[in-house]
């Protein structure tokens, strides 16, 4: 009998990539606040709080996505997670970048 899926740790590697992404998002938001707080003021820390909250939400979504993927692969079910999490992250980073650009140009 063959295995249901290749046990090459694909879901685990993807989960680790999501963890690195959330870490980069959170740290990037805090670094921006530290650098831009002199020119933008309190808005920089407000945006950092939103960035850290987004990182936490992405981490929770990635953990759910990992459990769903693993469950689908081990049960033989063909329903894998959709692309909502990557699309939401891309949208949030784009909007955040535009806000940062607007604040930087305004000051």
User: Average pLDDT of each block of 10 consecutive residues along the chain (107 residues)?
Assistant: 60 88 94 90 90 94 88 77 88 90 85
Specify the 3-state DSSP secondary structure of 92: helix
For residue 3, the model assigns a pLDDT of 58
For residue 11, the model assigns a pLDDT of 78
Q: What is the pTM of this model?
A: 0.80
Structure letter (DSSP) for residue 78: -
For residue 1, the model assigns a pLDDT of 40
For residue 75, the model assigns a pLDDT of 80
How far, in Å, CA of 102 to CA of 62, rounded?
Answer: 30
What residue spans define the domains of the chain?
10-106
């Amino acid at each position: 009998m063959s295995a249901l899926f290749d046990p090459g740790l694909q879901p685990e590697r993807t989960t680790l990539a999501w963890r690195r992404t959330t870490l980069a998002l959170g740290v990037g938001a805090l670094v921006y606040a530290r650098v831009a707080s002199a020119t933008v003021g309190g808005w920089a820390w407000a945006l950092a709080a939103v960035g850290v909250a987004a990182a936490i939400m992405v981490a929770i979504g990635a953990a759910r996505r990992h459990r769903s993927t693993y469950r689908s692969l081990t049960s033989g079910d063909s329903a894998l997670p959709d692309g909502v999490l990557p699309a939401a992250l891309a949208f949030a980073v784009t909007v955040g970048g535009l806000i940062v650009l607007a604040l930087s140009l305004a000051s």
